[in-house]
Structure 1
Amino acid sequence: MKKHLQTTLIHAPRNAPQYILTVQPPVFRASTIIFKNTDALINRHWTDDYDYSYGTHGTPTTFTLADNIAHIEGGDYCLLTPSGLSAINLVNSCFLNHGDEVWVADNIYGPNMEHLRNLESRYGVVVKVYNPIDANTFQPTEKTKLIWLEAAGSVTLEFPDLINLVKKAKQTKVLTALDNTWGAGLAFNAFDFSSEHLSVDLTVHALTKYPSGGGDILMGSLVTQNKKLHLQLLRMHAIQGIAISGDDAAQIQRSLASMQLRYTQQSNSASTLLHWFKKQSEFIQVLHPADESSAGHHYWKDVCKDEQSAGLISVIFKPEYSMSDIRQFCDALQLFKLGFSWGGPMSLIMLYDLKNMRTLEHTHLQQGLLVRFCIGLEHPTDLIQDIESALKQLRQKTIPSE
């Protein structure tokens, strides 16, 4: 039967074969997914490894990326979310109930703390704070359900006593969730990071950073080796209607091939800048896990066997420099741009006043204002020249007039 043109525009008379072998996998964009027959409809189950029933559950594009992220991080199961923070929030909403205790490091990612404080005030979740470099400050009770780990802290870059914190959590059957954005699955394997083969229960990862690599895609992931945990998260993932774009997934998938190379280059550039930073008189403290004077350095050496680290360095200016001085320094930089995040091609800076960011007393941190440098893919010599130029302007402004 001959069909009207309008119908053939929807139901094409011919369909090209769907699969060819290409360097990059094809991109599927789907909300509705067509079932082959009623058997496929009736016999599907939400726990299937590849549940092709609706776009929110996944497509070959999103499942391919999820499988690759799980492999990079050393896990077996992966869920994708629209951002790193949404992955964090999914964990909190999945595993915390009224009266439950959750322990967080004092250097925790700020929006995670804000979300937990919101759960505390509205739903009666109890938030406890520990010192990440002192496992003795983590004192779980029978009400403790979850501990958040961050290796390293995203602003002051302390590498935690990961081994002893995880041991203590396992002894008391506390769920361990690691924000693995800094390590990216490359600095160490969160599911096998010690001679005793210790493992966290799950990781979250802001794929916005190193996996994306371009500073233009938002996405997060949750990875675990435990199928029971995965299914709990998967159920909450579905209930909340969490979904990602196939186009965004394809962009990150394309960037994975260069991820290790970019991470290594930025790590090496950060090492070059670290040695230079330590010679500058304006800084009272330089913070980086590879520096022997930095808090948690020996924990970093125990876990990061290849001595890899993200391209982040923080410096604390001497107390005589005011916020106005530091703002002028930041504004004088040309290659370093003022912006949140890291892992992209462009180097970034962000300034912080630690007095407004800490709950506990951290004696290892000097008094002063902090600037975090996120090293991009520029040549380190050019980055040093950029900082040196901004420091010269700072020095001129602080020279007392005669």
Structure 2
Amino acid sequence: MSEGSEPISMHQQTNVTHVGRDAKLSNGLVNIPPYRGSTVLFDKVEQLKSSSGHRAYGRWGTPTNRALESALAELEGGANAMLTPSGLSAITTALLGSVKPGDHVLMVDSVYPPVRSFCDTVLKKMNVDTTYYPPLAGAGIAELIQPNTTVVYTESPGSGTFEVQDIPSICAVARAAGARVLMDNTWSTALLFPALEHGVDLSIHSLTKYVVGHSDALLGAIVARTRELYLDVRAFHGALGITVSPDDAFLGLRGLRTLSVRLKQHQESALQVAQWLREQPQVREVLYPALPGARGHELWKRDFKGASGLFGVVLHPTSEAAVIAMLDGMRLFKMGFSWGGFESLIIPVKAGSHRLASPISAGDVCLRVHVGLEHPQDLIADLGAGFQRLSACAA
């Protein structure tokens, strides 16, 4: 959009290719380059005194960092965003910036396990109590609100078990109680679930996953619904000395430009693979909300604009040796703990084994599958050969 032109409402597919681009910063280049630097120089004392933190020192971010923050905030419809070195650091920073000693946190029971560990150790040492609630509680979460509840944390779909939460209902209850709602929105990104529009206060992302998209950078972000929320958490963010390399911010900006088309392909391929998996005799259940008939499908269809490529597969009981035989011979699906890149991944997991408030019967043998950008028929062939090895070993 040219300078001085009137804002025009455009599709997110268009926005994602243009947000955060400033011709003045890029000197006419399509992409804003990595601005590397720590020290900012001033010619006049008055300039030094009047400089804001964002322009006074490299730790507060370079033009590259600010371009990505601006782009993320605009895509999500937030007041502003802040970058962190990883998705987990984004979560912990948002939590620490939202609580004080004596507070109470309601934490979804299906949360990413390292966050549970953070609550049970760091927050506990700070005298912040945590109650884990069932992910499908919805408006029923009102029964768990305490006078000192300041944060309700959500993750939808849930980590490993992929429950879809009723975010609008949870937000309504939390707002009535004066509590903030934080959401891990990594699975959907801002393109597939507009978290702030649904009432979330802080939308948290592991940009490492779909935004970077190429498995070559660690990056996180917190997007705040209001300026007041942003300044509150940003003050804590600054006090911790959190900073992000401009090179990593550049990789986030690069990945952002193709996010829309990549997510579309991830979903299209994942649906084909998930449907095929559902028909296999070794599979008990596929945990993918975008799949008709799957757990959470109706709620997903109501609130989401699409799905990514990550889901769970519950196998019928079999031996560990059989699962190892399957996974050790995969050609395209490799084993790795991340997801969201162009490559397909598969790992064995114990879905729901850590849960306290809402035990889930997901079986003892589960796989977490990330469908990448390879042709789905090639991925199906790879899985088919894997199931043959599993059955041969189990026989």
Q: Same fold (TM over 0.5)?
A: yes
2:348 aligns with 351
**1:234 and 1:36, CA in 2 relative to 1: closer, same or farther beyond 3 A?**
farther
Moved more, 133-142 or 340-349: 133-142
CA contact 1:82–1:219 (8 Å) conserved in 2: yes
1:144 aligns with 149
Q: Does 1:273 align with 2:270?
A: no
Counterpart residue identity of residue 140, structure 1: I
Counterpart residue identity of residue 126, structure 1: D
Deviation of 1:164 (Å):
1.2
1:314 aligns with 312
For residues 386 and 310 of structure 2, the distance between their equivalents in structure 1, rounded to whole angstroms, comes to: 19
Q: Encode CA deviations 1:205-262: one digit per residue, 9 max, x unaligned.
A: 0010111011010010000121111111111111111001111111221121111110
1:323 aligns with 320
1:105 aligns with 108
Give runs of aligned pairs for residues 93-132 of structure 1, distance below 5 A.
93-132=96-135
CA contact 2:161–2:351 (8 Å) conserved in 1: no
Q: Does 1:378 align with 2:374?
A: yes
Counterpart residue identity of residue 384, structure 2: E
CA contact 1:161–1:296 (8 Å) conserved in 2: no
2:184 aligns with 179
Paired residues, number? 370
For residues 18 and 343 of structure 1, the distance between their equivalents in structure 2, rounded to whole angstroms, comes to: 29
Deviation of 1:154 (Å):
2.7
**1:120 and 1:25, CA in 2 relative to 1: closer, same or farther beyond 3 A?**
closer
Deviation of 1:299 (Å):
1.5
Give runs of aligned pairs for residues 58-73 of structure 1, distance below 5 A.
58-73=61-76
1:37 aligns with 44
Give runs of aligned pairs for residues 280-299 of structure 1, distance below 5 A.
280-299=280-299
Give runs of aligned pairs for residues 113-262 of structure 1, distance below 5 A.
113-135=116-138, 136-137=140-141, 139-193=144-198, 199-262=199-262
Counterpart residue identity of residue 345, structure 2: L
For residues 33 and 353 of structure 2, the distance between their equivalents in structure 1, rounded to whole angstroms, comes to: 47
Counterpart residue identity of residue 253, structure 1: L
For residues 294 and 71 of structure 1, the distance between their equivalents in structure 2, rounded to whole angstroms, comes to: 32
Counterpart residue identity of residue 330, structure 2: L
CA contact 2:174–2:180 (8 Å) conserved in 1: yes
CA contact 2:161–2:352 (8 Å) conserved in 1: no
Counterpart residue identity of residue 287, structure 2: L
For residues 329 and 372 of structure 2, the distance between their equivalents in structure 1, rounded to whole angstroms, comes to: 18
Deviation of 1:181 (Å):
0.3
Q: What SS is found at the alignment partner of 2:192?
A: coil
Query: Gaps spanning 5+ residues in structure 1: where?
Result: 1-16, 194-198
1:6 aligns with none
For residues 170 and 227 of structure 2, the distance between their equivalents in structure 1, rounded to whole angstroms, comes to: 23
Counterpart residue identity of residue 366, structure 2: L
For residues 99 and 19 of structure 1, the distance between their equivalents in structure 2, rounded to whole angstroms, comes to: 47
Deviation of 1:355 (Å):
5.7
For residues 264 and 355 of structure 1, the distance between their equivalents in structure 2, rounded to whole angstroms, comes to: 28
Deviation of 1:106 (Å):
1.2
Q: Encode CA deviations 1:277-324: one digit per residue, 9 max, x unaligned.
A: 1101111111011234333222111101x3x101012111112x1233
Identical columns (%): 32
Counterpart residue identity of residue 369, structure 2: F
Q: What SS is found at the alignment partner of 1:356?
A: coil
For residues 251 and 322 of structure 1, the distance between their equivalents in structure 2, rounded to whole angstroms, comes to: 42
Q: What SS is found at the alignment partner of 1:111?
A: helix
**Runs of 4+ with >3 A deviation:** none
2:17 aligns with none
Deviation of 1:332 (Å):
2.1
Structure with max Cα Rg: 1
For residues 368 and 267 of structure 2, the distance between their equivalents in structure 1, rounded to whole angstroms, comes to: 15
For residues 172 and 360 of structure 1, the distance between their equivalents in structure 2, rounded to whole angstroms, comes to: 22
CA contact 2:270–2:371 (8 Å) conserved in 1: yes
For residues 109 and 292 of structure 2, the distance between their equivalents in structure 1, rounded to whole angstroms, comes to: 21
CA contact 2:352–2:362 (8 Å) conserved in 1: no
Counterpart of 1:332 (choices 329, 333, 340) is 329
Higher-helix-fraction structure: 2
1:5 aligns with none
Q: What SS is found at the alignment partner of 1:334?
A: coil
Q: What SS is found at the alignment partner of 2:56?
A: coil
CA contact 1:154–1:182 (8 Å) conserved in 2: no
For residues 25 and 96 of structure 2, the distance between their equivalents in structure 1, rounded to whole angstroms, comes to: 39
Counterpart residue identity of residue 148, structure 1: Y
Moved more, 387-396 or 65-74: 65-74
Query: Gaps spanning 5+ residues in structure 2: where?
Result: 1-23
